[in-house]
Chains A and B, each alone.
Chain A
Amino acid sequence: MSDSLIVDARGLSCPQPVLETRAALAKASSGQVEVLVDTVTARENVGRFARSQGWNCRSEEEGDGTYRVILTR
């Protein structure tokens, strides 16, 4: 996990979580990127964008209301 890029997009308004994800995916180009968000809407938006860019997406719910969206390619 140590080599995965982590984006903390918690608490950001639309469309910033997706813009942050976009920048991170462009930087990583492959491997694993983790995006932290705190609303279901942001989780969906990040996932939809990542899939449209050819990344695989799954997410885990942490105890504190954070969703960890894990993107791999």
Chain B
Amino acid sequence: MKSINRILMSRFGPVITGAIVGILAPLLVWKGNPGNMGICVACFTRDIAGALGLHRAAVVQYLRPEIPGFIVGSFLSAWIFGEYRPRSGSSPVIRFFLGIFAMIGALIFLGCPWRAYLRLAGGDWNALAGIAGLIGGIAIGIAFLWKGFSLGRSYGSAKASGLFMPVAAVGLLALLVIAPSFGEEGKSAVFFSSSGPGSQHAPLIMALGVGLLVGWLAQRSRFCTVGALRDLVMLRDAHLARGVLAFIAAAFVTSLALGLFKPGFEGQPVAHTSQVWNFLGMVLSGLAFTLAGGCPGRQLIMSGEGDGDAAVFVLGMLVGAGIAHNFSLASSPAGATPFALGAFVTGMAFCLSVGFLMREKI
């Protein structure tokens, strides 16, 4: 155990984590998850929002166990290794809205950064426009960071205050297993899709196991798909970037081995070919993630460590998923909706305002 931990905390940590996640994600697709969606923090959080009735898009409702798995895995890891440290207070309301707009951007593209790389590894070339947008959004965020952008400090809080996310995660798992009916079938939560991506899922035990393992690995190694690009550009530090490369490479090889690699633009699973919106959606998302200090996976992991600000960002993503579908902002395989433009402009106006205005003197 000690030696595994030492390796995960070494410079090989992100590479090992990336490679393992890259192998596991296509396996989840092979065992039932939607195409190129072995793991997608945005899509899965959106499915959870649907299962809870925060939106009524009937095809994307399922209590994805991977997400609570991440939180609990990270919590256990942080607890065992003495890194469980409840803290909060760094502009939580701004982080809530960053979470909302990060989610809206991701749902215009149809995926978080993790899924953008998984889509690329599965041969979905539409992901290239999304990844280009992600790089663009991170670049804007970097410009703000160079100018002294800060959401301010967080402060330590009571030991119990960090327990709410892990407990809520366990609560979600209980809802999944028990699947209680709170009223008339199909009209009350918990909602489970009977068709579409929400109806496609790997066996519960496997999905939860992968979630717990990935939560553990990512907590130890600090795996972050946004920090990877940010640190590479700002600090010439490839520590996290090597993890993302290993992630893409492992996912590519595994997809190929499982017969899931299907190169092309047309007919890709849960994807559209409107490259302008693939690009712009991820610009918004990438900027919001960079201002918040990490990718959505990393935010989940930090929420498990007791970071209340990351938890607020995650809750913002959950609400953002509800908004994205209730207001028809989320794309479908047919493409972006007419409302994507308004959502993008609003989101960018918010993120750019935050970038310009938040310059807390340290």
A38 to B85, Cβ gap below 8 A? yes
Given contacts A14-B293, A14-B294, A15-B145, contact A48 B237 (CB under 8 A): yes
For the A-B complex, the count of residue pairs with Cβ-Cβ distances under 8 Å equals: 60
A23 to B: closest C-beta gap in Å: 10
Given contacts A11-B155, A41-B222, A52-B237, contact A16 B150 (CB under 8 A): yes
Interface size of B in residues (CB-CB distance below 8 Å): 29
Partner among B83, B227, B239 whose Cβ is within 8 Å of the Cβ of A48? B239
B83 to A12, Cβ gap below 8 A? no
Given contacts A13-B90, A13-B151, A44-B9, contact A49 B145 (CB under 8 A): no
Determine if B325 is an interface residue (Cβ-Cβ < 8 Å): no
B17 to A: closest C-beta gap in Å: 14
A11 to B: closest C-beta gap in Å: 3
Measured between alpha carbons, how far is A65 from B293 in the docked complex, in Å? 21
Residue among A8, A19, A22, A65 with max Cβ neighbours from chain B (10 Å)? A19
- B155 surroundings in chain A (CB, below 8 A): 11
Measured between alpha carbons, how far is A49 from B274 in the docked complex, in Å? 40
Given contacts A8-B362, A48-B239, A49-B237, contact A13 B85 (CB under 8 A): no
Determine if B343 is an interface residue (Cβ-Cβ < 8 Å): no
Q: Which residue of A lies closest to B82 (CB)?
A: A40
Given contacts A12-B362, A14-B293, A19-B145, contact A49 B235 (CB under 8 A): yes
- B108 surroundings in chain A (CB, below 8 A): none
B154 to A15, Cβ gap below 8 A? no
Determine if B46 is an interface residue (Cβ-Cβ < 8 Å): no
| 0/1 interface trace, chain B 227-270, chain A, CB 8 Å (1 if under) | 10011001111010000000000000000000000000000000
- Scan residues 28-68 of chain A and give those whose CB is less than 8 A from a CB of chain B: 38-41, 44, 48-49, 52, 65
- B6 surroundings in chain A (CB, below 8 A): none
Q: Which residue of B lies closest to A49 (CB)?
A: B235
Measured between alpha carbons, how far is A11 from B145 in the docked complex, in Å? 16
B152 to A: closest C-beta gap in Å: 8
Measured between alpha carbons, how far is A65 from B152 in the docked complex, in Å? 19
Measured between alpha carbons, how far is A8 from B150 in the docked complex, in Å? 14
Measured between alpha carbons, how far is A65 from B86 in the docked complex, in Å? 11
A11 to B234, Cβ gap below 8 A? no
Partner among B83, B90, B309 whose Cβ is within 8 Å of the Cβ of A39? B83
Q: Which residue of A lies closest to B231 (CB)?
A: A15
- A49 surroundings in chain B (CB, below 8 A): 235, 237
- Scan residues 125-179 of chain B and give those whose CB is less than 8 A from a CB of chain A: 145, 150-156
B361 to A: closest C-beta gap in Å: 12
A20 to B362, Cβ gap below 8 A? yes
- B104 surroundings in chain A (CB, below 8 A): none
Measured between alpha carbons, how far is A44 from B224 in the docked complex, in Å? 15
Determine if A18 is an interface residue (Cβ-Cβ < 8 Å): yes
Apart from A12-B153, A38-B87, what are 14 other A-B pairs with CB-CB below 8 Å?
A11-B152, A12-B362, A13-B150, A13-B292, A14-B224, A14-B293, A15-B230, A16-B145, A19-B145, A19-B234, A38-B85, A49-B235, A52-B236, A65-B85
3 nearest CB pairs, A to B: A11-B153, A13-B293, A11-B154
19 A–B contacts from the bound complex (CB under 8 Å): A8-B362, A9-B362, A11-B87, A11-B89, A11-B152, A11-B153, A12-B150, A12-B153, A13-B150, A14-B227, A14-B293, A15-B227, A16-B145, A19-B145, A19-B234, A20-B362, A38-B87, A48-B237, A48-B239
